[in-house]
Amino acid sequence: MGMNRREALKGGLSLGAMAAAAFGAGKTLAWTKRRDTRPNMIVIMGDDIGYSDLGAYGGDVDTPNLDAMAGRSVRFDNFYNMSRCCPSRAALITGRYPHRVNMTGNGTSLSLDTPTVAEQLRAGGYATTMVGKWHLTEATPLPDPAEHLKWVNHQAYQDRDFGDRRTYPAARGFDYHWGIIWGVCDYYDPFSLVENFTPVRDVPKDFYLTDAISDHAVEQVNKLGKGDKPFMMYLAYTAAHWPLMAPENVIQKYLPRFEDGWDAMRKRRYDRQVKLGLVDPKTNPLPPLDDDYANNSRTAWEALTPEHRAEQVRKMATHAAMIDVMDQGIGRVIQALKDSGAYDNTVVMFLIDNGASPEVMIKPGYDRPSETRDGRKVGYGEYPGGIGTELNQTGIGSYWASAANTPFHWWKAESYQGGIHTPFFISWPAALKGRAVKPVAQGTHIIDITPTLLDLAGITPSQKGAPMDGKSFAGALTGKKLPGPRPFFFEHYGARAVIDGQWKLVSLAPHGPGQPYGKWALYDLVGDRTETRDLAARHPEIAARLAGEWQGWAKSVGLKLRAEPPAPGGFSD
């Protein structure tokens, strides 16, 4: 698995060793004392965070640590994910489209025949560790719904695993894992929490999951940062995935920032993005809020009752507070790297699994509790009460999600930019010191992370299992040439897209199981990144070519195709 190459790199030709020489022989850093001077690597993933939530991307949330990291990083301005939690995670740790590795939606586990990046890095001499959300193990409910709810409520102990333990992180290449196996949980009393294979049955009274994830990440950095091996950490936060839960003092800070509503927030963020140079208003106008999926809230902000307005403000303030606490934790992780001497030779990546989510849950079941451990009822719906505490299981809803994804259309689970376009930036102080760091305009994809990590480690990717789809973009950090442009493909529950150069062909998710695909729409991403002008009717030949590319890809990954819509040629009018 690339061992000969690794040994050669350890002899002094690794990217880490070259960075050490560039940094200066007089420094006495921990990693320069190691025989193996390859870089440490940390991949930080946020959850259901909008494109514009971070301050560096025009947001209202205080994210000083991520903003500072973005300022000293290589920024990728056209980076894409797979539009939803588990497919994006599968693509990240395998380098394959999720369809190739059995991760197309809920109710499946990551296939065992394709190696993860952690398995390959560990075999190549790395210490590997994971903290946070896994969501790649099939979550099987108990047959009796009432007994299942008692289990999820922590009211009835079940002497069973949370899924097939062969699919747990600790069985898929990670030396250590602390976090949740399933995808959703109470932040104050999480379900499916494990340490390696052992369930964590109880947590302290002052427990808050985001802080606990950060604390465990700091512990791992303190342990591994001074070790003999380079290390790779996958730090997968749950923030800001629903349910909306955050410390009250942090929520209070944000209440005044969102009192003027979602339209004002969207405009405010767009104006900041223009000033930051992220958006050119001449070619990328701000689309209107998307509200087709609104849950019991199909009226303008001004038409809401004062009581409902206050609840909506509290929703967005809690979402912001969840991100704020995550950023504070990331700051502690960075400080731990500095304290251990590992900071300069650590590659740190930050991305998000998908855009902000419009989801508003209306009832308990599956991974959603009906009561707290001590029997208090949990609220659901648009206005559940108890937002910020463990007495709610709601999300921000479609209007706030659309505003959080400024300047883009749509949201999580859709293949429009609001669903698949994520901020992505990489810091590596030793290698980037003294270099002019320019944004990378070329398109890159979450499937490219595994081959990049392996490239940085000097490990040839394994040929086992499904064919590798990703390409290494390590050249963006080392000054070498990037792989040539290529098409990127997307599909989740029938929402689909293909991006090939300047052109993007996309359709919304079907209206239900068994329904035809939505109509194709065509956008020129060079002149219209915000997807406001559908050009399918003007360029039917381009739309037809891209539709053929998507169909060919879908068949190659084993996707069962739906019927096309009855419109002529399957394209929008």
- pLDDT tens digit sequence for 17-42: 554 444 443 344 555 666 799 999 99
The confidence band for 104, taking pLDDT boundaries of 50, 70 and 90, is confident
Task: Please state, in angstroms and rounded to a whole number, the distance separating the CA atoms of residues 547 and 32.
Answer: 51
Of all residues in the chain, what percent carry a pLDDT higher than 90? Answer: 86
The confidence band for 562, taking pLDDT boundaries of 50, 70 and 90, is very high
Q: What pTM was estimated for this model as a whole?
A: 0.93
Mean pLDDT of 547-554: 97
- pLDDT tens digit sequence for 298-318: 578 999 999 999 999 999 999
124 secondary structure, DSSP code: T
Which residues are registered as beta bridge partners of 490? 497
CA Rg, the chain, in Å? 23
- pLDDT tens digit sequence for 430-487: 999 888 788 999 999 999 999 999 999 999 999 999 999 999 999 999 888 899 999 9
The pair of structure tokens assigned to 129 is: 């560790």
Q: Based on the number of CB atoms within 10 Å of its own CB, is 295 exposed (0-12), middle (13-18) or buried (19 or more)?
A: middle
pLDDT of residue 20: 47
Write the DSSP assignment of 132-198 as a string of letters: E----S-----SSHHHHHHHHTTSS---S-SS-GGGSGGGTT-SEEEEESSS---SSS-TTEEETTE
Task: Please state, in angstroms and rounded to a whole number, the distance separating the CA atoms of residues 417 and 506.
Answer: 10
